[in-house]
Amino acid sequence: MPELRLSMTAEARTVLTDLLRLIAPAAARVAVNRANIPDTDVEVAGFWTETLSAQASEEARLLAAAFTNAKGDPAVVILKNDAQAHAFLRALSAVRLALRDLVFADITDAQLESNDELDDDSLPTEKRHALACYACFGLLQQSLITQLCPEAFD
């Protein structure tokens, strides 16, 4: 597989990197909290919790490193193979889920899905900022999926 590239302006990289520093540590916790972990078997539940937590922490580190290493303008994240691309996709998903749970808890799914409906003036600055980042992380995901599997969005 040829390497995959995600480009963004240097300004976007700086803004997203700053947000990641804040949200990434919580992403692993949110991933575990949201999971439907079977509660009938203590051993299985323990294994699932450990696996999900370790993976989410690792992916948060991967994401932070990728953004930190994306130098230049435009800043380019390079993913060398499918495994890296999949991990990056999952990490972006974890961050979006964490933002959804921790920052946009009072916004409905429908409003969030079409964020045009959100009246900018009704939201505090930090939330508008986080919402813009949430959309950017989504765009990065879509760009990556389009490169990985163009027919996925048909």
Partner 1 sequence: MAKPKIKPEIKTETLVSAAPKWNVVVLNDPINYQGYVVVAFMSVLRINSAEAKKLMRAVHVDGRATVWTGDRERAEMLALELQQWHLNALLEKDA
Under the rule (CB under 8 A), what is the footprint of partner 1?
31, 34-36, 38, 44, 48, 51-52, 55, 86, 89-90, 93-94, 96-97, 100, 109-110, 112-113, 138, 141-142, 145-146, 148-149, 151-154
Give bridge partners of residue 4 from the DSSP assignment.
Answer: 79
**Shortest distance (Å) from residue 72 CB to partner 1:** 27
Q: Which of 10, 80 has the CB closer to partner 1?
A: 80
**Shortest distance (Å) from residue 38 CB to partner 1:** 6
15 sits in which H/E element: helix 10-34
Peptide bond into 74 cis (omega under 30): yes
Q: Which of 14, 51 has the CB closer to partner 1?
A: 51
**What is the Cα–Cα distance from 146 to 150, expressed in whole angstroms?**
4
Residue ranges of alpha helices (H) inside 77-124 are 82-102, 109-113
